């Protein structure tokens, strides 16, 4: 009886162990640049907690990541498997949000396509819904349209007294992020971990003129 109890306790402990114990300790995400320290530290805690527990980032588990306000466009009707598979890897979704924090909501169109079976995002911002839906024919206020290419940033690392060049590509995760009433945009590539995280993670904030302002830069192996 005692052996059975000990075996049960061991089984429960094993179930409670974090993912990293079995998957190999994954190096924590490092914060290498922070313009707004409070939001950067908040995001850093969530990234490292998720990677330690699950091996990837569980965006939907955190209310700060705006993941459930999207409306998909043009979903195919019926059960045609070919159409459904094409739609799974090639679709548009729209969201209305004050993305540049100017007290006026804009329309965000996010296009998803697949490269080697892995979903990748592009993002376009418009004042009105009609332009957003017809994003391929209209000029956006702001866009991140680099799928298959690279997105480059440069920030100054104060303690090292040097500029850090950040190059994301060629598949992207793009998700709005809200902290203390302020909207941001999280951008990550998928070149290192196929599912949700790559070498770089960048949190940006748009000015009222839709200029891109980098707030945080995270890296998995920056030294």
pLDDT bracket for residue 189 (50, 70, 90):
confident
Give residue 84's domain range. Answer: 26-219
| Residue 3 covered by a domain | no
| Residue 92 covered by a domain | yes
Residues 73/87, Cβ–Cβ less than 8 Å: no
Number of domains in the chain: 1
Mean pLDDT of 157-185: 89
Asked if pLDDT for residue 85 goes beyond 80, the answer is no
Mean pLDDT of 126-144: 94
| Residue 9 covered by a domain | no
Structural element, H or E, at residue 208: none
**Cα–Cα distance measured from residue 181 to residue 154, given in angstroms and rounded to the nearest whole number:** 27
| Residue 41 covered by a domain | yes
| Residue 2 covered by a domain | no
Would you state the pLDDT for residue 161? 82
Asked if pLDDT for residue 9 goes beyond 80, the answer is no
| Residue 17 covered by a domain | no
| Residue 179 covered by a domain | yes
Mean pLDDT of 10-30: 47
| Residue 205 covered by a domain | yes
**Cα–Cα distance measured from residue 52 to residue 65, given in angstroms and rounded to the nearest whole number:** 19
């Amino acid at each position: 009886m005692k052996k059975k109890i000990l075996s049960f306790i061991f089984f429960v402990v094993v179930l409670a162990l974090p993912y990293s114990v079995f998957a190999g300790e994954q190096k924590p995400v490092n914060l290498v640049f922070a313009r707004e320290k409070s939001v950067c530290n908040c995001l850093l805690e969530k990234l490292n907690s998720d990677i330690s527990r699950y091996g990837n980032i569980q965006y939907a588990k955190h209310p700060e990541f705006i993941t459930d306000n999207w409306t998909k466009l043009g979903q195919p009707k019926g059960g045609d498997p070919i159409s459904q598979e094409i739609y799974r890897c090639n679709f548009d979704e729209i969201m209305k949000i004050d993305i540049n924090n100017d007290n006026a909501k804009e329309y965000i169109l996010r296009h998803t396509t697949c490269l080697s079976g892995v979903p990748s995002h592009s993002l376009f911002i418009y004042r009105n819904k009609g332009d957003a839906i017809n994003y391929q024919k209209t000029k956006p206020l702001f866009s991140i349209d680099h799928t298959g290419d690279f997105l480059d940033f440069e920030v100054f690392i104060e303690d090292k007294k040097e500029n850090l060049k950040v190059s994301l590509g060629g598949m992207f995760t793009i998700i709005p992020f809200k902290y203390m009433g302020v909207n941001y945009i999280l951008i990550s590539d998928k070149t290192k971990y196929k599912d949700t995280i790559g070498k770089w993670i960048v949190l940006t904030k748009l000015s009222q003129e839709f200029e891109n302002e980098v707030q945080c830069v995270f890296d998995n192996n920056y030294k």
